[in-house]
Chains A and B, each alone.
Chain A
Amino acid sequence: MIDMLEQADRRAFLKIGAAVGGGLMLGLMRPSVAVAGATAETAAELNGYVRIAPDGIATIMAKNPEIGQGIKTMLPMLIAEELDIAWKDVRIEQADADARRFGQQIAGGSYATPLHWDPLRRVGAAARQMLIAAAAQRWQCHPAECATEPGMVVHAASGRKLGYGALAGIAATMPVPDLNNVPLKPEAGYRIIGKPTPQVDIDAIVTGKMQFGIDVEVPGMAYAVFAKCPVPGGKPVRANLDEISREKGVIATFVVDGSTDAPAGGLVSGVAIVADSWWRAEKARDKLRVEWDGGAIAAHSSAHFAAEAARLFGQPATAVIRKDGEVAKALAGAARTVEADYFYPFIGHATLEPQNCTASVIGDKVEIWAPTQAPARGIALIAETLGIPEANVTVHLIRCGGGFGRRLIADPMVEAAYIAKKASRPVKLLWSRKDDMQHDFYRPAGFHRLKGGLDASGRLVALHDHFVTFGKDGKVARSADLSASEFPAQLVPHCLYESSLIECGIPTGPLRAPGSNAIAFVFQSFMDELAHAAGKDPYQFQLDMLSEPRLLPTGRSLRPGSAEKVSFDTRRMADVLRKAASMSGWGKRRLPKRTGMGIACYFSHLGYFAEVALVAVSKDGTPSVEQVWVAADVGRHIINPSMAVNQVQGSVIDGIGSALFQQITIEKGGVVQANFNDHDLIRIDRAPIVEVEFLKTDFPPTGLGEPALPPAIPAICNAIHAATGKRIRSLPIDIALLRA
């Protein structure tokens, strides 16, 4: 009884403490308040980001999932800048999934920077205005007489000062300013934005204390593995569950009857084993014998896909993506034509932390601890699968050991929830590496037959791409499309992009710089081929195409439904090309034998990138990428230069690794590769020096998780051509073709 009273008192104290000392909580903004430059939907997100304690320490909520892109540090920097507080006085708290409070919480598309640049600065600025209002009330003066210095409000005329901690309680009672009109700092006076800022979790990471999804521990928790059919969409017919249930540590084992459209990312059929340790569950799986109904795609194979592509190339394409002018006529009349077939394979995401999720189901309430890039999709899928309202699903955002697009898909979340429910206890589901590699949503393979026509002056006048891609029931598969605005469309008078589909049930999905990570290889390599055919320097060839300053529509919006359309600015691309050329000494270096330089440029995710690679090819054909120079234009501020450079260097090396080592092949409907021995990650000994420069231009800042990757691959392939005369038209790079 005494304990209970004490507890009640303590709760009361905490509540009062929160009201008085917890201070300023920006929880009052109404969804109807529109924010300049963003949609009403964005504005609705703006609440509950900042609280300030009596000691002046500000706690700022990090709304988005952290997957290694540094967003947990960067988004709060925007708020802190306009709040006007010293970064050392900021603490950052990872938000749970809460769409009502934070709106869309997603790590994808390099969208976080462009979508939050304005709104989150306004959140900080609004908090600052409330602190100023509080000080003005205390001093009985007009707020306009007050200004701020980091962490305090000052009254210049009288020299009075008050710290944010002392003002927070009153500030919390002040009306929330209109976010549209809240004054923002002059950008030249920034103290936080633009300063290299170590990531907030650095101490936890280097000491092993950082909690990733795989590290979540819930009282009473058991551990699960989930065995799925090697062929996507297959189902278990029978399994030796009795035998498995007798294995050491096994608590429960059962068949999961999944939805039939599993490749779309729903609950897959399989056999769950729940045990008192993950290793015992995994060990029991060694004895699992399942008879699978292999599903509809058991005849799929990579060889079959290649044969299909060859057949489809011999037929008219089935869909037109873009058509300008008369491409056939222009090709026939061209002074010179170039034809080439390109191929890139399926590849996996291979996040180093395998897919996992921890779930607890009590009655019709579900609590999830998920390393996810898109919690809302998991909530929707779990609610639909378990037949409960979305409001009954709580998701804690846990740091992801890499994302790369894999964790946009919620299959591990729904599996964990389903298994926990059926096992009647909290469960941590962890996939083995083989599970992870064989049940991915792959970057789709693709086949391109390109024809280019040059006029007598060497100008590209006609371009034709027949793109053989993958689809299901006549619809293009996820991330397997080609944009109608794909460069150099709109800069070539006769341009025809068309496609044909290979029917395919292999799950596909977004991988870092979706589409672009493959298309850039094809188109930027072909530009290099055309330049050589035209007798021009490849750098000059592309620069000439970009010479007229133009804003080319891409047909894309900043976000779905947004009125803000994205254009491709030829001037910005020409400028990064020039910069990359000057950084690298393009055309001015004397290079040893079998060493060459290649150049490529690419626009994706609102970022303009030009990259030059220096590659030496050994006699046995092994390409050694020695250095890459990157010139980038992502707007007028690099919000956190420390993470920005890290992202660019990592993207470039990641791209090179995929081109050197990665390929998923299909046999009998299933994935052949099972671990890093056959789908490797690039290692330190193959990683080049990557030099990065950002051109600061007068545009709002945009994202960096993706756009540096696409041009890295054609840059190295073009360098290999310069070194050896051999053209890489198929990935991964086959070193046997490059032997001296």
Chain B
Amino acid sequence: MAKTEPKGKKKIKDEENSSLKGTLVSVLFLGIFVIVTWVSVYFLFLNRF
């Protein structure tokens, strides 16, 4: 099976912030998903007796 060897030899130097932009955006999406879920069930709670 395929062992994962880095294909491109060109290594980009870790630039503190620019290199993790995708991560930040991803986790923020995740956070928004959590908030939407929570708020929906909270409104269900409010609307029921």
A and B found bound together: no
